Structure 1
């Protein structure tokens, strides 16, 4: 039977509103997913209980209702939330939450996965930030040849046009090519190593369509900043892009 009342804090001293304050920055979808995930996984809204009404929740988070719906839909698809219609409908926390990827149940895709530690996530994300933000800055400061510019633009288009099965591969290729444009032969092997480790982490979380769309928009900002020779803008766009991925990884895996 559906619950008729809104959620109440399951633990004394903890409020379900604790993590549901306004999001900040440009990665609003990813941060909304992270806030909701943390709220659910920390038990601030208990399994089976209802989230605040959509209008109220969107106001609390400071996001549009479209962004909130995309985040809720993505988490429902991943098994964390359930939407019910009718008089006593709303969005509810699933009675049985998905197992973390380091548990026996495996990854969200059903494949077995080794244990992933917070230290490993931190290491990969820190290395990625150092290498990729710097690569974008340096690439934007170089005078690129016409073939280099054409290949960068076509790599951007390939990522935008890729389906879910191909996305990780073409996304990796775009990021590695930006590293190559920095002009340091020693950089690309380091980027490739970090990217392989990153993809292993990404394989342990759901592939969310709104995140892909947002990533493609950020890819375009990065590429245009490189092509127009604006190092600071390229670095900042890359930093924002990496931050969105980091939010999802920490939300699902930590």
Structure 2
């Protein structure tokens, strides 16, 4: 299978925006669509990725805002990879094994925490805390989003009643936050994350352990797609 076909294959439905960004970034980073060249036409690309043109446009707009691509009008228009891509994100280079290690550990810990929290009989204070952290994250401004997002995830960990698990999640969250600081905040992703957060918390409060695990796994997959796309 040609590399271009392998990269522009259909994405999964659960995190369509995030995976579309990941596929586009992979194609650009691997030189499949090098600087100065045009991405496939919107109709073709949406069909190959198996996403709506609205989702594709949101992904392309996010890459435009990050200075990675530009749109040109006219007969020879389209979406082009910028001739000069943004400089590497600040800090030391992230090696792929390091990235995958952090993402794997986070998935194991946080899906387990969601399942565990849903399996407990939560008290009124614990339930109020989850709802309050969810509301804070949903209404957070861009500048505060990652801090409020972290607080919600830690509140879920606290709901397990395990100080050791909460500490382990706090540690891995520090690692993941260092990685997140290297990529742009993408409003469509934040809106999607807020919807996923609400589903995770609802499953926990309903006592649906398996549903909470699945909802958390899908949420973390979306973040992982963006990190792999921008950093690996």
Q: TM-score, normalised by structure 2?
A: 0.96
Partner of 1:61: 49
Q: How many residues align?
A: 232
Deviation, structure 1 residue 188: 1.3
Identify the match of residue 74 of structure 1 among 42, 54, 62: 62
The separation in 2 between residues aligned to 1:224 and 1:75, in whole angstroms, is 32
Contact conserved, 1:30 with 1:247, CA < 8 A, in 2?
yes
Match of 1:103 in 2: none
Structure 1: 4+ residue segments shifted above 6 A:
none
Q: 1:188 aligns with which of 162, 166, 173?
A: 166
Specify the alignment match of 2:39 in structure 1.
51
Considering only aligned residues, what root-mean-square deviation do their CA atoms show, in Å?
1.3
Over alpha carbons, which structure has the higher Rg? 1
Say which structure, 1 or 2, has more relative contact order (CA 8 Å, 6+ apart): 2
Query: Do structure 1's residue 199 and structure 2's residue 177 form an aligned pair?
Result: yes
- Structure 2 stretches lacking a partner, 5+ long: none
Contact (CA 8 Å) 1:179, 1:191: kept in 2 or not? yes
SS at match of 1:18: helix
3-state SS of the aligned residue for 2:6?
A: coil
Please give the alpha-carbon distance, in whole angstroms, between the structure 2 residues aligned to 1:25 and 1:129.
Answer: 19
Higher helix share: 2
Structure 1 residues 164-185: Cα deviation after superposition (integer angstroms, max 9, x where no partner): 1000100000000100001111
SS of residue in 2 equivalent to 1:51: coil
